[in-house]
Structure 1
Amino acid sequence: MAGARAFAHRSFEGLGFEAQLTPSSKDGGKDVILTCRAASKAHTYYVEIKHWRSGQHVGQTAVTEFLNVIVNEEISGGLFLSTYGFCSNAVESLTEIQRQRLRFGEESKIATLCKSYIKAKSGIWSPEVTPVETLYEATF
């Protein structure tokens, strides 16, 4: 997991964010803190990454805890990434307003972020969208 967190950190920086990797334990409910500027204003996003060896789907409790961190710390939003997906009740229980603040990505989103980073690093990709649009693209 430490390798995935470190790669995510580098990937987000390569996509135009300032990224801060949190400690692997006692991280306050987030793995990566992203900041960027849009419309002359700083925006902060949290990213939580779950890659459980058990192959278990992320459930409602983990989603609710992450959403509470986003709301309580009054940040712009969050992205919850899970290599093994989410239980149906984890997403279905959220209101439309909550879904605007918290987006979800599975294995395909993680792969897309990695590919975009590699293209940006090699100089063959220059984003035509803002970092936030890249962050939330292909999420649900």
Structure 2
Amino acid sequence: MTLPDISMNGLYDAQVLIRARYLQNDYSVDTLLSLSPREFEYLIAKLYKSLGYNVQLTPPSNDGGKDVVAENQEIGRKERLFIECKRYKKNVGIEKARALVGSITHAKATKGVLIGAKGFTRATINFAKENPSVELIGGQELLHFLDENLGKNWFDLIPKYIKELKEDGNNH
């Protein structure tokens, strides 16, 4: 027996609501690592969209050192962020942070955000402390940031986020 699309969507929405309300969120860094690199980029784009930014995903390859461009045009809060997403099984190394600084300097962006699913090496963390134009978000901090801004059921909603962003013109 098959159900019409509207019924399937209703069941999916009910499942998401039940999980969000009654089940414990047990997402971990491994949850992030289970995503494809492109799904991870869409998730981060949705995160920044939820923060009030206009977002644009760059093409999957030859992206110029950025996966997402996030812009805020509000008076007093104008900024242009280059976001580089690294869904690595190991900590992100300093070379990625240095490359991001090069990208933001060259294109005159306000700030670079390096997202690391697992986290960052000590050298990368020290580099970011010395360079206020680079922000690092990774590991447990990233999971908390996702929960806080997208809700505890963000993983279940990734297909919906991708569809929304593609409809908004992010179809690279």
TM-score range, shorter chain: 0.7 to 0.9
Relative to the length of structure 1, the TM-score reads 0.73
Number of residues of Structure 1 aligned to a counterpart in Structure 2: 115
1: CA distance, partners of 2:43 / 2:134: 22
User: Which position in structure 1 is the counterpart of 2:78?
Assistant: 42
- The reply on whether 1:116 has 2:152 as its aligned counterpart is no
More helix by share: 2
Query: What's 1:68 paired with?
Result: 102
Match of 2:119 among 66, 85, 105: 85
Structure 1 vs Structure 2 CA RMSD: 1.9
Query: Which letter does structure 2 place at the counterpart of 1:24?
Result: P
CA 1:60–1:15: 2 relative to 1, 3 Å: same
CA distance in 2, matches of 1:83, 1:41: 27
Q: How does 1:1-140 map to 2 (within 5 A)?
A: 1-40=37-76, 42-52=78-88, 55-93=89-127, 96=130, 98=131, 100-119=132-151
Residue 40 of structure 1 and its aligned partner are, at CA, apart by 4.8
Deviation of residue 41 (structure 1)?
A: 6.3
In the alignment, the residues of structure 1 paired with residue 148 and residue 54 of structure 2 have an alpha-carbon distance, to the nearest angstrom, of 16
Corresponding position of 1:132: none
Q: Taking every aligned residue pair, what percent have the same amino acid on both sides?
A: 19
Which whole-Å deviations, capped at 9, do the CAs of 1:9-57 have from their partners, x for residues lacking one?
12211220000011111110001100002435631011111112xx221
CA deviation map 1:106-130 (0-9, x unaligned) = 12232233223324xxxxxxxxxxx
Greater fraction strand: 1
Give structure 1 stretches of 5+ with no counterpart.
Answer: 120-140
Which protein has the larger Cα radius of gyration, Structure 1 or Structure 2? 2
Mind listing any 5+ residue stretches in structure 2 that lack a counterpart?
1-36, 152-172
Q: Which moved more, 1:38-47 or 1:23-32?
A: 38-47
Query: 1:15–1:116: 8 Å Cα contact kept in structure 2?
Result: no
